[in-house]
Amino acid sequence: MALKITFIGHASVLVSFNNQNYLLDPVYNRGVVFFHRKTPPGISLEQLPPIHGIFVSHGHYDHFDRWTLKKFPRSTPLVMAKGLGIYMRNLGFTDVHELTTWQTVSIGDLRVTAAPAQHSGKQPFFHKRSVFIGFILEHKAGTIYFAGDTGYFPGFKEIKKRFEIDVALLPIGAYRPKKNRKKHMNPPDALRAFQDLGAKWMIPIHWGTFHLGWEPINEPIDWLKELIRGRNLSVKILYPGESAVF
């Protein structure tokens, strides 16, 4: 096994490079603010393998869940959007890295770069404002782009200039009402971003767990299926708990 991606639910993803395991935006809470989980995590906390690093793209509750993070050893390396590190240090975490766009850090054999994102929205009143970023994860086994939360924007073409992406994890939900399109992508936006990135594969995220948008909760994935039907597109749809090996 070289590169394995497992969808946990919403934007929570487990990535394994040669048995080194990393979590992206892990949220195991039963709810975020007033939004309750519609589907359970595809892998329970108890089923997770040893985790060698955790990455958090921004401070919204559906991506940054301190209840979840407190379940991990305080020595776990954390790579976070700038502005969030203070909360983890206050909880006793000792290996915390804060990044803003294009900054990098190495965690073992993995090189992590903060990618730009077009996102907005109120953050919890007791938080400092964090930046909004995605992540580029570079390893000899492959390169992954995790968009976090973003609307469609020219930054995807800039990412392509800098990186050769094997797998792009792109959000497809919470795009209604119309004003949400500035900060969230719908399925056509995500396919356009996939093309801009020049990635070999796309996996959709940010759907089916929390009913954050006005669209029906399953509309994003059903819409994406319609868009790719009969087309030769390297889009891999994973349901919670399912994995893909590349």
**In the chain, where are the structural domains located?**
3-245
Q: Read off the amino acid at residue 192.
A: R
* pLDDT of res. 34: 66
DSSP 154: T
DSSP-derived letter for residue 30 is S
> How much of the chain, in percent, has pLDDT values that exceed 90?
76
β-strands 53-56, 20-24 pairing: parallel
Provide the pLDDT for residue 129.
63
What Å distances lie between residue 108 and 20, 52, 129, CA to CA?
A: 9, 9, 29
Q: What percent of the chain has pLDDT over 70?
A: 93
Residues 6+ apart with CB under 8 A from 67: 28, 29
Burial class (CB in 10 A: 0-12, 13-18, 19+), 226: exposed
What's the confidence (pLDDT) of residue 177? 79
Residue 1 pLDDT level (bands cut at 50, 70, 90): low
Q: Which range among 135-144, 172-181, 237-246 shows the weakest confidence by mean pLDDT?
A: 172-181
pTM for this model (two decimals): 0.93
Protein fold of 3-245: Metallo-beta-lactamase; Chain A (3.60.15)
**Triad 227, 239, 178: Cα angle to 5°:** 50
pLDDT at 233 over 90: yes
pLDDT of residue 134 exceeding 60, the answer is yes
For residue 182, give the amino acid letter: K
On the question of pLDDT at 125 being above 90, the answer is no
| pLDDT score of 52 | 98
Kindly report the average pLDDT of the chain as a whole number: 91
**pLDDT-derived band at 126, boundaries 50, 70, 90:** very low
pLDDT > 80? residue 124 = no
- The dihedral sign for the CA sequence 222, 204, 4, 65: negative
**Residues 150, 185: contact at Cβ < 8 Å?**
yes
| pLDDT, position 128 | 54
| Closest to 29 measured CA to CA, from 19, 37, 20, 38 | 37
Q: pLDDT tens digits for 191-231?
A: 999 999 999 999 999 988 877 778 889 999 999 999 999 99
pLDDT tens string 101-119: 999 999 999 999 999 999 8
